[in-house]
Amino acid sequence: MINYLDGFAWIGGFHLALQQAVWKENINCIWFSEIDKFAKKVYQDHFPDSPDLWDITQIDIESLPDLDLVTGWFPCQDVSVAWRQSLDGWRTILVEYLLQILEKKKPKGFVFENVKWLLSEKFKEFRESVFERIREAGYYLHIQVLNTKDFWLPQNRERVFMVWYRMDWNTDWWYDFPEKQDLTNFLKEFINEEVDDKYYLSEEQIEKAKETRKGRTFPSWKRNWDMILDRNDYWYSLALTCSSFWKTSRQNNLVSDKKGLRLLTPSEYTRLQGFPDGWSSDIVSNSQVIKQMWNAVSVPVVKSIFDNLFIND
């Protein structure tokens, strides 16, 4: 049995991926930690038997049972290009608590995810200081940028994944990240044919969005219309982002169909991240669904990582 701590659990993407992995029968989630009340509501609806740690900063690490696996990482906003990219934020500080779990409880492995900007020169000092503590604690570190579109989902979403495992565990084994897969599930299979009129932009909204986006300099693909998707022409979408569901200036994927130009729907967001339909929408509002999927892990990517872990344990 693999005892598992789901740190910064959000809506359960890591947990769902573990349930789908090749060694799913051996998983025991001993605790999860999440402070967002809406995300927690979704998590607990799907995993009601997982005990709730709530705030990871308030736990007594020594009281935790023995651990085999920890997942998480600090929330990405402090290093995301879509935000202010500052290590002064409270989210970045949370990594200290995960490091303390690693140092005190010595789990066999950690699997962490974050935006690829964590690997940029701007965060080199912070990154190297964290990695040095990991090595000093007795862990090998494997790190790689993986793209969601290389794992069966039509979304161009690059994220950095880190797999750490204890040096004294399976000394004759070396972790390999999963190989890229051919994209055979194209965007048109994830886009609804019939959509409520409320998702369509008025002429006024279209003009406002054009004006708002004009000359924008972060990042290069947001300078104009980002990507206007035609269900029959495009293989994949850009990475899902949206700071507010109805602010078209912050949507980076818009769908063009026979009725006009529209936003992606909550169900489309959900599918493009690899969650089953209704994962969040049966529990929280549409705006919360968008926020949750935007910040979630892409389930098939994480599932593929887990498939290569613990296989020789």
Long-range CB contacts for residues 124-130, cutoff 8 Å, separation at least 24? 126/87, 126/92, 130/95, 130/99
d(CA 273, CA 277): 10
d(CA 186, CA 231): 9
Q: In what order do the strands lie in the sheet with 52-54?
A: 52-54, 27-33, 2-6, 69-72, 109-115, 158-166, 139-147
Indicate which residue of 2, 56, 69, 76 is catalytic.
76
Pairing mode of beta strands 109-115, 69-72: parallel
Residues 6 or more apart from 207 whose CB is under 8 A from it? none
76 is catalytic: yes
Q: Is 115 helix (H, G, I), strand (E, B) or coil?
A: strand
Tokens of 207: 């003009």
Closest to 235 (Cα-Cα) out of 193, 183, 173: 183
182 and 149 in contact (C-beta within 8 Å)?
no
Q: How many CB atoms lie within 10 A of CB 3?
A: 19
d(CA 22, CA 131): 29
Which residues are catalytic, by number? 76
